[in-house]
Amino acid sequence: MKKLIAEFFGTFWLVFGGCGSAVFAAAFPELGIGFAGVALAFGLTVLTMAYAVGHISGGHFNPAVSLGLWSAGKFPAKELIGYIIAQLVGAIVAAGFLFVIISGKSDFVDIGGFASNGYGENSPGGYSMMSVLVAEFLLTMFFLLIILGSTNVRAPKGFAPIAIGLGLTLIHLISIPISNTSVNPARSTSQAIFAGGEFTAQLWLFWLAPIAGAIVAGFIHKTFLDKE
């Protein structure tokens, strides 16, 4: 239960901090933090919660991460369902709080895209479904390689959260214009539930591509990079 609670709060913080920065601060009049600020916010959420609760649950905060670690032989299959449910609940609850806050704005009309992920017309840069699928696959694959490498028994101790947080920052710097950056099915689901419409219809891609990329990364690490 402690592990599931840790995953709940870790994923909550990732969505509340990362998506919250995109919803409230990215384009704030004259003083917006922009793409770079949002990318840093996502990285900081993972870095801070990895140090805060990573020693309890492993600090996944992402169904793709859990499945990638399982693929690499680093996580038991019997714990997957519990972790994924805790991550989804944490993400959705965080999105609910974001909705409550944004709906209290004096000129509120609707939530718009609500930091959701998408392709085609729902891509910030108008990228196609194939472009988004390839980007999400590759970026999640490398994210898992960073996680697996930095937490390996041969890696320097205590620095993994820094590498992982900076890795996620870099991923967002690359792909916010492409897909608004998912690499995390829980984060995508929470925002799509509230944004609705085409964002919900396109959600399948943000489960398929990150999970496929993570599982491939797990296989690569286990086969070629892990300690012999």
Q: Which two tokens stand for residue 173?
A: 């710097």
- Would you list the domain boundaries of the chain? 2-225
Asked whether the beta carbons of 200 and 192 are under 8 A apart, the reply is yes
Q: Which two tokens mark 208?
A: 């398929």
pLDDT by residue (tens digit) across 32-66?
999 999 999 999 999 999 999 999 999 999 999 99
- Distance between CA atoms of residues 23 and 38, nearest Å: 9
Lowest-pLDDT choice from 152-161, 163-172, 176-185, 205-214 = 152-161
DSSP 123: S
Burial of 188 (0-12, 13-18, 19+ CB in 10 A): buried
What is the pLDDT, as a whole number, of residue 213? 98
Please, are residues 69 and 148 in contact by the beta-carbon 8 Å criterion?
A: yes
Distances (CA, A) of 156 to 11, 160, 215: 25, 8, 24
Q: Tell the residue number behind the tokens 């925002």, with chain if given.
A: 191
Burial class (CB in 10 A: 0-12, 13-18, 19+), 173: middle
Each residue of 88-147: pLDDT tens digit? 999 999 999 999 999 999 989 999 999 999 999 999 999 999 999 999 999 999 999 999
- Give the residue-averaged pLDDT of 85-89: 98
pLDDT band at 29 (very low <50, low <70, confident <90, very high): confident
Q: Please report the pLDDT score of residue 228 as a whole number.
A: 57
Using DSSP, how many helices (H) and how many strands (E) does the chain show? 10, 0
* Chain centroid, CA 121 distance in Å: 21
pLDDT reading at 31 higher than 80: no
Burial class (CB in 10 A: 0-12, 13-18, 19+), 96: middle
pLDDT tops 90 at residue 190: yes
Residue 207 CA to chain centroid, in angstroms?
Answer: 11
The reported pTM is 0.96
CA distances from 64 to 88, 141, 160, 188, 195 (A): 12, 10, 18, 12, 22
Pairwise CA distance, residues 151 & 161, whole Å: 9
Q: Give dist(CA 125, CA 88) in Å, integer.
A: 27
Mean pLDDT over each residue of the chain, to the nearest integer: 96
Supply the DSSP symbol for 62.
Answer: S
Query: Three-state DSSP class for 151?
Result: coil
Architecture of domain 2-225: Up-down Bundle (1.20)
pLDDT greater than 80 at residue 30: no
Q: Which tokens belong to 57?
A: 């649950």
Where do we find the tokens 């991550």?
A: 87
